[in-house]
Amino acid sequence: MSTSQIEKKQNNLIIALSIIIPVAVAALFGIRIESLPRLGFLPPIYASINGLTAVLLVLAVIQIKKGNKNLHEKLIKSAMIFSVLFLLMYVAYHASSDATKFGDTNYDGIVSETEKLAVGTSRIVYFLILITHIVLSIIVIPFVLFTYVRAARGKFELHKKLAKITFPLWLYVAITGVVVYVMISPYYPN
């Protein structure tokens, strides 16, 4: 198989994964597996994983600027593994639990007008951060994969160009994952 055929297969796989992953997560998000125990312990763990991903990404950039390609590669691979772990835990949690509603102080699954007034504009801020987090978490998938594959192919100039876009997107998704958790955590049922 020629190099161009291999690259074409890799590109097709990346495109397929970039479509399949968000569609699968969206589909699984609406499924509740009643036989699963409620996995309420997972949100602080996967939020921490998001935080660690952000740290790994910053460290990876520092290392590549120092010329340490080996450590940079290890840090990026670790960030990718953490991102997959986050995704698996996120899906597991939502498959076992009802969605938590921002501002639902009495945990009845409904945010009343009184509860909305109590949280005020923080509700708007929360939803703006959440929406950008979700949209960019979908957009960043092909960026991460194409950036990684370009480096793996030894196409470092192309890798570097794409990494300048990928890094801030991925970092934003990782950091806002923590922010979303911190903002919604008071409303998780005990």
In sequence order, the 6+-apart residues with CB closer than 8 A to the CB of 36 are: 92, 95, 96
What is the reported pLDDT for 36?
A: 80
What is the reported pLDDT for 137?
A: 96
What is the reported pLDDT for 46?
A: 96
117 to 103, 106, 111, 179: CA distances (angstroms) = 9, 14, 10, 21
Which pair of structure tokens corresponds to residue 139? 């957009």
What is the reported pLDDT for 26?
A: 86
Q: Please list the rounded mean pLDDT of every run of 10 residues in the chain (190 residues).
A: 85 93 84 82 96 98 97 98 95 86 92 94 96 97 96 95 98 98 90
What is the reported pLDDT for 39?
A: 87
Which structural domain, as residue segments, surrounds residue 103? 3-187
CATH number, domain containing residue 93: 1.20.120
What is the reported pLDDT for 67?
A: 96
Q: Look at the chain and report how many structural domains it folds into.
A: 1
What is the reported pLDDT for 161?
A: 97
What is the reported pLDDT for 80?
A: 97
Task: Count Cβ neighbours within 10 Å for each residue of 39-64 and write b for 16 or more, e otherwise.
Answer: eeebbeebbebbbbbbebbebbbebb
